[in-house]
Amino acid sequence: MATTTEKADAKTGVTQNVEAYLKGRFSEAQKRFQGLEGEANKAFRALETRGQVAAKEVQALWTKVQAAELRADPRVQELGKKVDAAGVELRKRLDGLQTKVVEAVGVASQSQVEQITRELDRLSKKLDVLLKPTRRAHRTTKNSGSGASSPRA
């Protein structure tokens, strides 16, 4: 029976060694985890502080925009001039492109339509002048044939 007791004692010793080893490893892992957790908390607090600072800066900028302080800044005025100049240039290019498209499609432009309308008005007036004497003569011939239908009679 001595061997059974020795075996049991050996098992207990091995079990205790494994248990002590595992407890040691677990303790080390817990310490590393706590260290990582502390670093993560520090990083989170730093990011939170940065976020608050950035929010304050944005709020200050927004206040300046609302108060039109930025418009008085010479750099902003210069940028405004550049934007206006770019807008004018863009309009010119678009007008030129529109003209090219109208020419390519074969549709009359607005100025051409206005010119044609003026020409039609001018020709219509000339036609009226030329046709007026014949209309008057035609009317007098019609009215002279029937005296009873005249309202003056």
Q: What is the 3-state secondary structure (H, E, C) of the chain?
A: CHHHHHHHHHHHHHHHHHHHHHHHHHHHHHHHHHHHHHHHHHHHHHHHHHHHHHHHHHHHHHHHHHCCHHHHCHHHHHHHHHHHHHHHHHHHHHHHHHHHHHHHHCCCCHHHHHHHHHHHHHHHHHHHHHHHHHHHHHHHHHHHHCCCCCCCC
pLDDT at 123 over 90: yes
The predicted structure's pLDDT at residue 84: 92
Look over the chain and give the mean of its residue pLDDT values, rounded to a whole number. 81
- Among the candidates 51, 72, 93, a domain finishes at 72
Residues 6 and 60 in one domain: yes
pLDDT at 3 exceeding the cut of 50 = yes
Q: Is the pTM of this model over 0.85?
A: no
Given 22, 57, 72, which residue is the final one in a domain? 72
Number of structural domains, the chain?
3
At 53-81, the pLDDT tens digits run 999 998 888 887 777 777 777 888 898 89
pLDDT value at residue 19: 83
High-pLDDT (> 90) share of the chain, %: 19
Instruction: State the pLDDT confidence band at 108, using cuts at 50, 70 and 90.
Output: confident
Range of the domain at 129: 108-139
User: Comparing 5-14, 27-36, 95-104, which segment has the lowest mean pLDDT?
Assistant: 5-14
Q: Is residue 59 part of a domain?
A: yes
Split at pLDDT 50, 70, 90, the class of 87 is very high
